[in-house]
Chains A and B, each alone.
Chain A
């Protein structure tokens, strides 16, 4: 295994050019903490962003930060925190789920479109990513977007690259818009609700003017013996008091909520963000994206066929994390059939390599979408160098 660690963009271009003719595939690596995400790629060599580090631009008053792709996410977050700011989309940390070590990088957050619980209100990583620089499969340096948050100049390749899992190119630098950290964070917590009722509560809250920033439902057995239904408010201190009170009134039919602040509830939100509930287990882990109201019936249908499944809901119900005993196809046929009937998608986030290769990781694409996807892959990477097969067979 050869590991290339360029320290300049020019070196990265030269490395890619050097393998085009031989078509030696390259695996792309940031901190290596999310290597289990996607189909196992078949690559003899690795192109690492470890030599491309450092924050290149930070203008707090313009709410923008740029960093080289290999910059540790923690460094970006600490720099932002020093000015009272943060990444808007609360990126998930995959280390608990995968049992991986190392430091997640900002480049991987962009490349894999990694978001967390705030996604439902503040958008995904792709919504805050405003600029990229990358080496395409021809060994050319390409830029798209920039450092300003309103920019419609030309095709939005930034979005295409975000969530492409390294299959379109090697990111060298990424630029994000950022937000001020809230003055205060508080959580309202209801106990003992069923999945249907919990999701209905979250929907009512999200359809209110009180702007919950995160909304999750944890069925009984996920975080203690009772089901927990959680709404997180982030705002100025006086607004937290006011909005918490209004929401408790609006949702009075569901019981009187606990009001929680501090480290314990923050830790629970982190474990929701990171799906840490499944840390250390041998289950296969799926991530389902649905319309919120479709989620409880989808889970019920899956559990009828796979009674050992356990799950919890984020994004007001629109995101379901599902653990299934990792035997057979890990529930792939059942889950995909349920999703097919409702609309949405399912991603096999954690499973042994052989299983991820066999059943695929991402929801299969319809014929026309697959043709466009293959065309886009070729338009960036004609020789098929980057992460072959990471997303779909051949992509």
Chain B
């Protein structure tokens, strides 16, 4: 595929490569500077593997101070910087360019403080999402945002993309669970934003940093909210004869004043793919499956489920299957959370991430099927039904350039559809390079210019993750 353009590498920077590497070598320990082609190769792409560019060099600082020194150096040398967490971006948020230095946070992997009394943890940016929960689970606590890549993805990357997950219907996304960050600006200044307290004065820079896709600075540490886990949690499978009935059941559950901790939707192709991989016991004779999870004591869960089951029956549910053990519950979630990986076993795919008003669900599902069929391709749908965050997986063969282009075109048509019905291009994966050129469908010139002027306050020369988020044409400085 080559549909997404990259900026032409700056020949002057490429010519200065040896000098730039020498300059960086004085700022970090030898093991933190990667220059050989073989060792740089793992950094040439992220989870949007169809695109790759070999970076000039890769730096993996061990301290915030080293990050500051590297950023200051790159600013002075006029070298673009591509920040990188764990490299799990599906939107190409961490894909480098030939004239850029990748600054990865993987060596910033210490959990610095756990404070149960105040219900906060201070962690470095390279700590994985699941490791935060792992560090506090013995005391019954957890870190709420749970993207499917949580085993690998880093807190720094989560902040960059404002990551969500399956449980944000109740617990919110990253921006609702981060109380403070240590931000290194391109000038090499170390700025503490927020902290263990709530709602800092002045403009909400914390809210601005979350989801800024590495364009405002590099986050090296974060203070996150840790929560006490519920007494128990139980996912239940609800199979429906049609997607419309499943969608109507979701609306009716919310309408009844019930907010389950998660409501996940899978269509038939997704059910088949995930069941073959995870053996989760998903029903195979239904067109749509909801995984609805409730929390609380056994009695509370029984009571809440009774209400949900009653509503589901009113909407024609054909199968209700409760998890009877922790193992069954884990298998149900394993199937859902490995949906992308399991799909990858049978075909190449691109994963879309638009959000729609949930009332538009039946119409959008129908239109998506038509769009993808129109390109002669197949789609499997997995999504967060409670909040309308869709993840259509468009299946294709990446060795067939014509089919690859069709898949990308179908994806773009789907995202435009999301915007048309009142939704947005991306609910939790970020814009990256993938959706950069669609930004003009969601925002007009004035909207984008305002965002770019705010961006320019932090990076007037467009050095930080420059080819991302905003269309390459029409860029605005301070």
Closest to B258 in A: A180
Interface centre among A150, A366, A375 (most CB of B within 10 A): A150
The residue that B356 contacts in the complex, of A142, A148, A379, with Cβ under 8 A, is: A148
The number of residues on chain A lying at the interface, defined by a beta carbon within 8 Å of a beta carbon of chain B, is 81
A209 adjacent to B207 (CB under 8 Å): no
The digit string for B402-431, where 1 denotes a CB below 8 A from any CB of A, is 000000000000000000001111111111
CB of B138 within 8 A of chain A? no
| Contact for A155 among B141, B173, B201, B454, CB less than 8 A | B454
Tell me, in angstroms, the Cα distance from A149 to B358 when the chains sit together: 10
Contact A152 B120 (CB under 8 A): no
**Residues from chain A with Cβ under 8 Å of B258 in the complex:** 180
Interface membership of A23, Cβ < 8 A: no
| Residue contact B204 to A159, C-beta cutoff 8 Å | yes
Q: Quick check: A151 and B212 within 8 Å, CB to CB?
A: no
Cα distance A113–B198 in the bound complex, in angstroms? 12
CB contacts (< 8 Å) of B362 on chain A: these are none
Cα–Cα distance between A335 and B212 once the two chains are bound (Å): 34
- Kindly state whether residue A380 has any CB partner on chain B within 8 Å: yes
In the complex the two chains form, is A392's CB within 8 Å of B202's CB?
A: yes
A contact residues around B49 at 8 Å (CB): none
**Contact A291/B197 with A62-B358, A141-B446, A181-B257 known, Cβ cut-off 8 Å:** yes
Q: Is the CB of B212 within 8 A of A155?
A: yes
Contact partner, A156, options B119, B200, B208, Cβ 8 Å: B208
Interface residues of B in 240-258 (CB under 8 A from A): 251-252, 254-255, 257-258
Q: Does B195 contact A (CB under 8 A)?
A: yes
Q: How far is the CA of A164 from the CA of B207 in the complex (A)?
A: 12
Q: Is A119 an interface residue (CB 8 A)?
A: yes
Tell me if A238 and B300 are in contact (CB < 8 A): yes
User: In the bound complex, do residue B201 and residue A142 qualify as a contact, i.e. CB atoms below 8 Å apart?
Assistant: no
Cβ–Cβ contact A150 & B205, under 8 A: no
Q: Which residue of B lies closest to A141 (CB)?
A: B446
**B457 contacts A150, CB within 8 Å?**
no
Q: State whether A372 touches B451 (Cβ < 8 A).
A: no
CB pair A153 B210 closer than 8 Å: no
Q: Do B453 and A152 have beta carbons less than 8 Å apart?
A: no
Q: Does A99 lie at the interface of the complex (its beta carbon under 8 Å from any beta carbon of B)?
A: no
Minimum-distance CB pairs A-B, first 5: A159-B207, A180-B257, A375-B457, A150-B427, A362-B201
Q: Could you give 9 example pairs across A and B, Cβ below 8 Å? A: A142-B450, A153-B424, A153-B425, A156-B162, A159-B207, A289-B199, A292-B118, A343-B197, A379-B450
Contact B430 A366 (CB under 8 A): no
Q: Once the chains bind, are B202 and A61 in contact (CB under 8 Å)? A: no
Which B residues touch A369, using CB under 8 A?
191, 193, 202, 205
Q: How many whole Å from A322's CB to the nearest CB in chain B?
A: 15
Tell me the B16-40 residues at the A interface (CB within 8 Å): none
A163 to B252, CA, bound (A): 34
Given contacts A61-B255, A156-B175, A379-B478, contact A372 B359 (CB under 8 A): no
Q: Is the CB of B231 within 8 A of A142?
A: no
Q: Which of A46-54, A200-208, A264-272, A276-284 contacts B (4 or more CB under 8 A)?
A: A200-208
Best-buried of B164, B203, B299, B454 by chain A (most CB within 10 Å):
B203
Whether A344 lies near B355 (C-beta < 8 A) is: no
**Does A81 sit within 8 A of B, measured CB to CB?**
no
Stretch at the interface among A3-11, A123-131, A218-226: A123-131
Residues in A whose Cβ lies below 8 Å from that of B231 = 209
Select which of A144, A209, A238, A343 is within 8 A of B195 by beta carbon.
A343
Q: Is residue B475 contacting chain A, with contact meaning CB distance below 8 A?
A: no
Contact partner of A60 (CB less than 8 A), chosen from B164, B198, B199, B255, is: B255
**Contact B210 A156, beta carbon cutoff 8 Å:** yes
Q: How far is the CB of B262 from chain A (nearest CB, A)?
A: 13
The answer to whether A127 touches B254 (Cβ under 8 A) is: no
A261 at the interface (CB under 8 A from B): no
- B388 in contact with A376 (CB, 8 Å): no
- A79-95 near B? 1/0 per residue, CB < 8 Å: 00000100000000000
Alpha-carbon gap, A140 to B443, bound state (A): 13
Which of B197, B357, B457 sits near A148, CB closer than 8 Å?
B357
| Extra contacts besides A62-B359, A155-B211, A373-B203 (5): CB < 8 Å | A127-B172, A148-B356, A151-B426, A152-B426, A343-B197
Known pairs A157-B451, A180-B257; A292 contacts B195 (CB<8 A): no
B193 nearest in chain A by CB position: A369
- Could you tell me if B200 and A372 are in contact, using CB atoms closer than 8 angstroms? no
Is A347's CB within 8 Å of the partner chain B?
yes
Tell me how far the C-beta of A42 lies from the nearest C-beta in chain B, rounded to whole angstroms. 20
Q: Would you give the shortest CB distance from A356 to chain B, in whole angstroms?
A: 14
For B458, give the chain A residue with the smallest CB separation.
A372
Kindly provide the distance from the CB of A158 to the nearest chain B CB, expressed in whole angstroms: 8
Question: How many angstroms from the CA of A140 to the CA of B384 in the assembled complex?
Answer: 35
**A120 neighbours in B (Cβ, 8 Å):** 198
Min CB–CB distance A105 → chain B (angstroms): 20
Q: With A and B bound together, what is the CA distance between A139 and B257 in angstroms?
A: 41
CB proximity to A under 8 Å, residues B218-276: 228-231, 251-252, 254-255, 257-259
| Contact A203 B389, CB 8 Å, known A150-B355, A152-B426, A376-B457 | no
Chain A residues lying within 8 Å of B431, measured Cβ to Cβ, are 152-154
Residues in chain A near residue B254, CB distance under 8 A: 60-63, 180
> Quick one: closest A residue to B179, CB to CB?
A291
Q: Which residues of B contact A379 (CB under 8 A)?
A: 450, 453-454, 456-457, 478
Query: Measured between C-beta atoms, what is the minimum distance from A271 to chain B in Å?
Result: 21
| Interchain CA distance A179-B254 in the complex, whole Å | 9
